Structure 1
Amino acid sequence: MNAVFYYTLLQYRYAQSLGEVLNVGVLLLFPEQRQAVFRYPERLSRIRKLYPKFAEKTIRSYFKGIATRTNQLTKQPEIFADYEQHPRQLIDNEILIRDSSALQFGDVKTAILYTDDLAAISDQFYRLYLSFYDQEEHRIHHDEGYLVKEFQKRLRLRLNGVSLREAFEHPLTIKPEGTKFSYKFPFAWQNGTYNLVKPVSFDLKLEESIHEKATFNFGQFSLLQPYADQHNARFDLLVARPKDKNLYSAYDDALQQIERVPKVKIVEEDELDSYTAKAAEAFR
């Protein structure tokens, strides 16, 4: 007789009266191997968009607790012996009590153990039921064009519809003396210093690209120091960070490198509103 294993889905009942149920985890029980595996998604942004009142912190605490308990069960094989033919009781008594709360395991199902590689089975069941959460969502690339448009939009709102078309359609071009280089700035404003606005996006996919872009901008603004001294100018960089959190360290290093150049001000996206308010006040 072929060996079997059991599996069940952890379900989040957002609106039980409407029958709205989301699968948020999968539990696998391997009685002969005396092992339990619980898999759940790391990213829950898709649920947040569907259900704004989704209690994410509470759900994550359940995830952590269930994962910890299944790891403990794997280290206590004698417990499996007590429930070898009764997986539902094992779940209810040892992992998550069945009650009226929104987070509950569904029906327990039986499957044939088709390989001895239990990790491969858990991976396959995760992909089958939960890969939805890991699919890359469509997002707007926060490149230089995006930064300029966001700045323009905020500036127009602050200035009550005053047209800035001419100002943005005729960017300022600076050519450092003794070089063949030229640099364009889409906007400039004055409030004691002559502030030249330039977008610099680090919404990139590779750490090497971030380092290269930082080095380029470091060199560019180093060359522009004589201009800054002569015109009492400051270079205001509208900066976008990478979407990939694994690149945050490279991004922070890039900003530190650029900020070593005098007369440079970094304006990150979350500072754009306050920066625009100052520019609008000066523009009036």
Structure 2
Amino acid sequence: MNSVFYYSILQYRYAQSLGEVLNVGVLLLFPEQRQAVFLHPERLGRIRKLYPKFAERTIRSYFKGIVARTNQLTKQPEIFANYEEHPRQLIDNEILIRDSSALQFSEVKPSVLYTDDLSAIGDQFYKLYLSFYDEDEYRPRHDETYLLKDYKQLLRQRLDGLLSSKAFEQPVTVKAKGTSLSYQFPFAWQNGSFNLVKPVSFDLKLEQSIIEKATLNVGQFTVLNDYAEQRNARFDVLVARPKDRKLYKPYGQAIQLLANQPRVNVVEEDELEDYSRKTAEALR
């Protein structure tokens, strides 16, 4: 007898009175494998064009919370046993409360587990429900220049002329103690700790390139650890994810490598707005 898995669509009710509903995510529940997987689009530009008042920041916050919760559930397989016959209750009690808010999961539907490759099922469901977001939308490569420009632009908007243009173009050079090595950081700011900002883009085409780039930067921060300890410094690493969804796993491993360093703070691209706000508050 074939195993069964369940799926539910995360829907955004943009105008409930008009019945306008957008599919913005897919939740897959695999009871026998004790796994929960949440899929969502990274690019929301097509929605912004259709609905200018679309609450993108709120939606992205929900995405992040649901991903964190499903990852946690997968690490706690005993929880699935409590909901074997009631997958909808698993969603309501453990992932997202069912209420009158605009963002809700649809009714749960069963499907036959047609392959043991759960990632292949995820890819197929993404294409079925969410590929709309990736079609016909040009996205330039989000390299280090792009990241830094985006961050500085957000910061300038928040500071509204309180800092001169020159202040944004004063890189900081840091020398590693006991060596002839030196590293340049394009921006720095102070708020108790001395925060050295460095963009590191993982918007690359090969898995090996992503891991090698992360390893190279880990080595740099290891060399600068004594400097950071002595000056109460922190390395704020602005990162961009790859376009190709197949590279999300090595990307996750890369940012975990960086985050495991004692003086490194990883700032993902969708967190830039909040990070620029904290920078602006400190600089004021």
Compute the TM-score of the two structures, normalised by the length of structure 1.
0.53
Q: 1:156 to 1:227 in 2, by over 3 A?
A: same
- Whether contact under 8 Å (1:210, 1:254) holds in the other structure is yes
2:156 maps to what in 1? Answer: 156
- Cα distance in 2 between the residues matched to 1:275 and 1:231: 22
Pairing of 1:244-283 with structure 2 (within 5 A): 244-283=244-283
Unaligned runs of 5+ in 2: 1-43, 53-111, 113-132
Supply the RMSD in Å over aligned alpha carbons: 3.3
Q: Is 2:186 the partner of 1:186?
A: yes
Q: Which amino acid aligns with 1:138?
A: Y
Q: 1:134 to 1:229 in 2, by over 3 A?
A: closer
Q: Which amino acid aligns with 1:145?
A: T
State the shift of 1:165 in Å: 2.3
- Whether contact under 8 Å (2:175, 2:182) holds in the other structure is yes
2:211 maps to what in 1? Answer: 211
Residues 41-88 of structure 1: CA distance to partner in whole angstroms, max 9, x if unpaired? xxxx998688669xxxxxxxxxxxxxx9xxxxxxxxxxxxxxxxxxxx
Residues 120-155 of structure 1: CA distance to partner in whole angstroms, max 9, x if unpaired? xxxxxxxxxxxxx99774321111001111111111
Q: 1:46 to 1:182 in 2, by over 3 A?
A: closer
Residues 231-255 of structure 1: CA distance to partner in whole angstroms, max 9, x if unpaired? 0000001111111110000000001
Q: Which amino acid aligns with 2:205?
A: K
Q: How many residues align?
A: 170
1:240 maps to what in 2? Answer: 240
- Cα distance in 1 between the residues matched to 2:45 and 2:280: 37
Pairing of 1:1-284 with structure 2 (within 5 A): 137-284=137-284
- Cα distance in 1 between the residues matched to 2:260 and 2:205: 24
Q: 1:280 to 1:135 in 2, by over 3 A?
A: closer
- Whether contact under 8 Å (1:156, 1:164) holds in the other structure is no
Compute the TM-score of the two structures, normalised by the length of structure 2.
0.53
- Cα distance in 2 between the residues matched to 1:243 and 1:164: 34
Name which one, 1 or 2, has greater alpha-carbon Rg: 1
- Cα distance in 2 between the residues matched to 1:275 and 1:257: 21
State the shift of 1:161 in Å: 2.5
Q: Which amino acid aligns with 2:265?
A: K
- Cα distance in 1 between the residues matched to 2:254 and 2:239: 11
- Cα distance in 2 between the residues matched to 1:270 and 1:48: 16
- Cα distance in 2 between the residues matched to 1:155 and 1:46: 22
SS in structure 2 of the partner of residue 270 of structure 1: helix
- Whether contact under 8 Å (1:144, 1:201) holds in the other structure is yes
Q: Which amino acid aligns with 1:253?
A: Q
Q: 1:48 to 1:164 in 2, by over 3 A?
A: same
- Whether contact under 8 Å (2:210, 2:254) holds in the other structure is yes
- Cα distance in 2 between the residues matched to 1:213 and 1:147: 16
- Whether contact under 8 Å (2:169, 2:187) holds in the other structure is no
Unaligned runs of 5+ in 1: 1-44, 54-67, 69-132
Q: Which amino acid aligns with 2:232?
A: N
1:93 maps to what in 2? Answer: none
Q: Among all aligned residue pairs of Structure 1 and Structure 2, give the percentage whose two residues are the same amino acid.
A: 56
- Cα distance in 2 between the residues matched to 1:46 and 1:162: 31
Q: 1:137 to 1:223 in 2, by over 3 A?
A: same
Q: Which amino acid aligns with 2:217?
A: N
Q: 1:238 to 1:46 in 2, by over 3 A?
A: closer
4+ residue runs of structure 1 moved beyond 3 angstroms?
45-53, 133-137
Residues 176-221 of structure 1: CA distance to partner in whole angstroms, max 9, x if unpaired? 0222322111111111111111101101111011011000011000
